[in-house]
Every structure is written in structure tokens, then in C-alpha cells.
Amino acid sequence: MARQPSGPPPPPTVQKLRIRYAKRGRLRFASHRDLARALERALRRAQVPMAFSAGFSPHPKISYIGAAPTGSASEAEYLEIGVAIRCEPEAVRVALDAALPPDVAVLAVVEAQEGTGSLADRIDTSVWRVELPGVSLAELAPAVEKFLASDVVTVAKRTKNGLKDIDARPAVASASAIEGAGCAILHMVVRQVTPAVRPDDVLAALAAVADLRPPLPPRAVREAQGRLDDSGTVADPLGPDRAARTRCQGEHATV
């Protein structure tokens, strides 16, 4: 007979909350693992009544979705948590935001409604803004045009198994060059594919097709995530849930 954990099973998940947060400033250099640890500590400090898995090593029910690469800032990072006592989403947002470092901001918390699918099902695309210090609009615009006009743009991507050639072109749904404050800005909508095509891969593609090589490190910010529709719009994955905020019924947590 298989050995069973002692003690009663953990309380069931009674509510799922979806959270959007930003990572800014110096914390853009934090790894996803470091941010995950910071978020789990903050959930404990904020006294959010987390639901836990069963077994010998229970862990809080947290699902992370599409983390931005290390070195990139983001205004659209997402996670979903399960709680054992129903909570008011706005109270969770305020308490969790106060428990996190200043460079991590909790922007929204909504309840996941029944029948709306998983959070991962609502995200297949990222919107990126990449500032290119030392690059003018006159240099960036023709490079973007050459990239978009190409059918295939092969770049070498570093993976855990070493360098791998990938085609960066199909993942980029749209791209444009705009004038910024003292530099050109690359704005692009990128599908989340496997292997992932990230801003540095697109910059490598611009170097391949147009020899565009920024003299200074770029500054990438993920502005949005969501599902890309036929009109080219990226829908907010939390949007449909905003009209259905939790109505406090029965027992509620003090958060």
C-alpha cells in the first residue's frame, strides 16, 4: 500500500484570482525564479489565504504565464492563484502591492469566472516597445521595412542546448518604427511561439537583413499580452472579468 501523508487534506480551492503586475526599474534584471520567490513571500505577508496542493510537499497553487525575459521591463505580467477562502479582488491587489518591492506593482486582480477557460488560453501574443539609443528613425524605418518584406529571416538563438537557428519572421505579426525622445523606437506585436521569439531575436534579424546594429543596449518593455484577433488587436486577458467582480458572500478573508 502506498504511504499516505499524515493529517487532513488541505482545504479545497474555492476561488481563482488572476493578477496582472509590472516589473520596472532595477527589477527588470531579476530572473523569473527570483520574481516568483518574491511574489510567494509577498502573498504570505499579505495574508492571502492560499490553497495548497496535496501530498508530502504541499505548495501554493500559483500558475505563472509567459514571463518576460531577464533584462526586459514589463507592464503586463500575469499569474493565477487559487485561494481557500473567498476574497475581494481589490483588497488582494492593495495588500499584495504593499507587500512587494517598489519596482513590482500589482496593477489588477480579478476573479476567474466559470467557463472562461484558463488564463494561458487567453494569451498568445505580446506587444513590445524597444527603445534604441544611438539609432535614428532614418536608420530604423528602412530596416523594419526590409524585415517585414522578407519571407524568412534566420537568426541564431541561444537555448539551453546551445545555439539553434530559428526563423524570426513568422512570429512578428506587425512592426513599426517611430520617433522617440532622442532615439528611434521599435514597436512590434509578436506571437508567442515555440521556440520563443523575443526582442533580442528581432534585433538580430534586423542586423541580418539591414546590418542595423545599435551602438548602445536597447531598452525593451512589454506593454501588453493577450490574444491577437483578426483586426490586429491584442485583447486584455483580464478584460472580460472586470464586469464580474467578486460579490462577497459567506465567509471572506481579511486581507
Q: Residue 196 corresponds to which cell in the numbers above?
A: 520563443
How far is 124 from 24, CA to CA, in rounded Å?
22
99 in Cβ contact with 147 (< 8 Å) = no
Q: Output the CA angle 185-187-189, nearest 5 degrees.
A: 165
The predicted-structure confidence for 130-157, as pLDDT tens digits, reads as follows 999 999 999 999 999 999 999 999 999 8
Local confidence band at 247 (pLDDT 50, 70, 90 cut-offs)? very low
Q: Which domains does the chain possess? A: 15-119+238-244 (3.30.70.580), 135-215 (no CATH)
Please compute the mean of the pLDDT values over residues 209-228 and round it to a whole number. 96
223 contacts: CB under 8 Å, gap ≥ 6: 75, 76, 127, 128, 129
pLDDT at 242: 39
Closest CA relative to residue 143, chosen from 188, 207, 190: 207
Q: Is 146 helix (H, G, I), strand (E, B) or coil?
A: helix
Q: Cα–Cα–Cα angle for 156, 200, 133, nearest 5°?
A: 135
Dist CA 156 CA 150 (whole Å)? 17
pLDDT number for residue 255: 52
Looking at 64-68, 92-96, 251-255, which range is the least confident one? 251-255
Burial class of residue 32 in the structure, from the number of CB atoms within 10 Å of its CB (0-12 exposed, 13-18 middle, 19+ buried): middle
Q: Is the pLDDT of residue 184 over 50?
A: yes
Residues in the chain: 255
Is the pLDDT assigned to residue 72 strictly greater than 70?
yes
Per-residue pLDDT averaged across 115-127, rounded? 89
